Chain A
Amino acid sequence: MKSRIVVAAAVPLILGLLAACGGGASGVSTSSANDAQGPITIWYSNNAQEVAWGEQMVASWNKLHPSEKVSGQQIPAAASSEEVIGAAITAGSEPCLIYNTAPAAVPTFEQQGGLVSLSSFPGGAAYIESRTGPGASVYKSPDGQYYQMPWKSNPVMIFYNKKIFAKAGISTTNPPLSTYTEFLATAKKLVSSKAAQYAIYPDPSSDFFQSWYDFYPMYAAETGGTELVENGKSTFNSTAGDAVAAFWQQLYAENLAGKESYTNDPFASGAAAMAIVGPWAIDSYQGKVDWGVVPVPTTAGSHGDQVPTFSDAKNIAMYASCKNRGTAWDFLKYSTSTAEDGKLLSMTGQMPMRQGIQQLYAPYFKANPAYTEFAAEAAHVIEVPNVPNSIQDWQVFRDAWSKSVIFGQQSPDAALTGAATAINKLVAATTP
């Protein structure tokens, strides 16, 4: 009996050790794979417009390149794309290219050994920099390589519901939303007049990325474009950070912003008079909201469309399991060509991260003047910092924000100081 118990106990232990020590399937050799041509698979986002764009783009490529067939599919559904991609990297089942790679997740994917350096292709870095311009450099990893192709941005701005503003007796063509004082006065008027239940309703949940849609755009505007972490140190424990926190704290304390998860889109449903999002959301407002858009406010007042904001960019990355990397690189260039960028803009309303889009696609902006603001803002966006532990940094920040600004359990000043110290430690721990 004793020996059977020993056998039974040893089997799972051995299995565990084997799994822990084993390396799994072998990787792909960089030198040969970079030239390899053949069929590849790509994933793109699952919103209807991007699916339509992706399908036409894949079809047009396949027509021209029958021997290098591309199979496109929507990214599998999950709580976030980052989870799906992270799991796929671990399993070695990721496609060659993913057109939905969040810059904040790139350091983690890189650490996993899941990304192919685009700089390793002949002319790779030059292609990226010539398309995007000097702004491309923020997407460079600390080792100087590009592991992501800056693809499209969604400059985060303030959307407002013209009908609700009119009901509250507020100008719908030039609403007073430029300074914090103006914004708060407008918010109070919207709620006290019962034109809307809430003035604004960013998602109050504690997901690490939610700060990209309340704090970060305003922090970018307030500081003139400072990232959350710069030169290995957090930057937000400052007068600008405190000002943004105090602004949002007042909105929550006076019930001008909702604290609970909302089951629908509160802006589309009319529960909130304003939203703080990028142009990707416009489609969900079609037929529901007559919207206008203004830059995010600052203490001194925002100045037209030159106010820095958060890019909310989604990029393209090539993944390590890809065998036919030569084809993948060619396809990546094809899908980011002037023609395809134009189609992306016209089909999705999202801004290709390409220099001079307003001149290049002038007919589109003439026909859709509401998008001109986004195009102008696209030249002034900032990105999430490209540092290891990026997601953990954002989670630390979000927890502090949630505790102090949303739920008022701590002073924002103390919470931001604590978060800054914790983030500095996390960044220092991974800095060589």
Chain B
Amino acid sequence: MTSITAPRPKVPPLEGELRPGARPSRRQWLTRAAFGRNPIGMIFGAPYALFIALLFAYPLSLAVWISFHSYFFAAPGVSVPRPFVGWANYTAVLTDPAVRQSFVNIGIFLVINVPLTVMLSLLLATALNAAIPFRTFFRTSYYVPYVTASVATIGVFLFILSPSGIFNHVLGPLAPVPSWLVNQNWAMPSVAIYVTWKGLGFFILLYLAALQNVPDELYEAAKVDGASWWHRLRAVTIPGVRQVTTLVSLLAIITGANLFTEPYLLTAGGGPDGKSASPVWLIYESGIEQNHPDFASALGVLLVILVLLISAGVWLLQRRQA
């Protein structure tokens, strides 16, 4: 097969640009090395770069620095020794049973939350994408919990999951004892189910957007071939929204790893007995309440690394499947 390429029109170089074949001067080379071929692009990108540098890169760099020193928050102008302590803070974090428990808790949370989020949001998005009555009402209804303050929705869940709440009334003798939020085995699953419900609206929205891009012809062809609803879901819908599934999985993992409000409010500070404590809760407890930001920073850095590794694993897995 041959390809025909139209000849490129000759465009004269712009002012300041090098002519083809010309050697750049040292100044031109330095300018290009620092700002690229289009310096104007750097100006457009600068506000966001600054935002990233100040609110992400700087705190992260500072956290890494703090994690290798003996550090506590001091008043401005107060000179305090902050000696380098090597890996001591990391050793303290990794040998702390509360930290290990919090990572186990997050593992339980992710195992429940991520698949549940992906499955429910895809199923509900598929249903909401179909021509059903009151479609707009349902779409709004699913989104309401996402935009409602966590404090308010947690208040509702505290009632629902209390010993005399509706769940226990419905379950009767099957209700767990002690009740959900103070039960060693059910506290974290309860938190995971609450978070799934709370975030579902957002993930449904992502899937709805992706479903708009799946060509109708594929469904029609599948129908002609006699594919059932289930087969169409497996053979057309799921592959068609794979990229969004990756995104939803990654966002759910990141949300889960950053869990704080729920153990703080729903299970009264990670109870019972730390069974719903999260690493971020421990960061708050040690860094803010107890003024040990060195320990908290080491834990934070480890959490960042872990989230990056899990996210990379998910991304690679789904890319390989694609």
Number of residues on chain B facing chain A (CB within 8 A): 50
Residue of B nearest to A12 (CB): B57
Q: Which of B58, B159, B272, B292 contacts A16 (CB 8 A)?
A: B58
B75 CB contacts on chain A under 8 angstroms: 27, 89-90, 92, 112-114, 320-321
Q: Which of A19, A206, A320 contacts B78 (CB 8 A)?
A: A320
Alpha-carbon gap, A259 to B162, bound state (A): 10
**A431 in the interface (beta carbon within 8 A):** no
Q: Which stretch, A46-54, A117-125, A355-363, A403-411, touches the partner chain B?
A: A403-411
Q: Which stretch, B175-183, B214-222, B307-315, touches the partner chain A?
A: B175-183
Is chain B's interface secondary structure helix, strand, loop, or mixed overall?
loop
Contact present for B162 and A260 (CB under 8 Å): yes
Within residues 43 to 74 of chain B, which ones have a CB less than 8 A from any CB in chain A?
49, 53-54, 57-58, 60-62, 64-66, 69, 72-74
**A391 in the interface (beta carbon within 8 A):** yes
**A395 in the interface (beta carbon within 8 A):** yes
User: Contacts A4-B33, A111-B291, A259-B178; is A206 near B76 (CB within 8 Å)?
Assistant: no
Within residues 157 to 185 of chain B, which ones have a CB less than 8 A from any CB in chain A?
158-159, 162-163, 178-179, 181-182, 184
Contact present for B36 and A12 (CB under 8 Å): no
Q: Which of B58, B69, B289 contacts A15 (CB 8 A)?
A: B58
Contact present for A263 and B34 (CB under 8 Å): no
Within residues 250 to 293 of chain B, which ones have a CB less than 8 A from any CB in chain A?
267-274, 285, 288-292
Contact present for A392 and B292 (CB under 8 Å): yes
Q: Which of A203, A321, A399, A407 contacts B182 (CB 8 A)?
A: A407
**A73 in the interface (beta carbon within 8 A):** no
Within residues 24 to 71 of chain A, which ones have a CB less than 8 A from any CB in chain B?
24-28
Contact present for B288 and A86 (CB under 8 Å): yes
- B194 to A: closest C-beta gap in Å: 14
**A1-35 near B? 1/0 per residue, CB < 8 Å:** 00110011001110111011001111110000000
**A74-108 near B? 1/0 per residue, CB < 8 Å:** 00000010110011011110000000000000001
Alpha-carbon gap, A242 to B34, bound state (A): 69
**B132 in the interface (beta carbon within 8 A):** no
Alpha-carbon gap, A406 to B275, bound state (A): 14
Interface residues on A, range: 35 or more
**A290 in the interface (beta carbon within 8 A):** no
A11, A12, A205, most chain B CB atoms within 10 A: A12
**B79 in the interface (beta carbon within 8 A):** yes
Interface residues of B (CB under 8 A from A): 33-34, 36, 49, 53-54, 57-58, 60-62, 64-66, 69, 72-80, 82, 98, 155, 158-159, 162-163, 178-179, 181-182, 184, 267-274, 285, 288-292
Interface residues of A (CB under 8 A from B): 3-4, 7-8, 11-13, 15-17, 19-20, 23-28, 80, 82-83, 86-87, 89-92, 108, 111-114, 203-208, 259-261, 263, 320-321, 389, 391-392, 395, 399, 402-403, 406-407, 409
Besides the known contacts A25-B76, A82-B289, A407-B182, 6 further A-B residue pairs in the complex with CB atoms under 8 A apart: A16-B62, A26-B76, A27-B77, A83-B289, A113-B80, A321-B75
Q: Which 6 A-B pairs give the minimum distances between C-beta atoms?
A: A16-B61, A113-B78, A27-B77, A12-B57, A205-B268, A24-B76
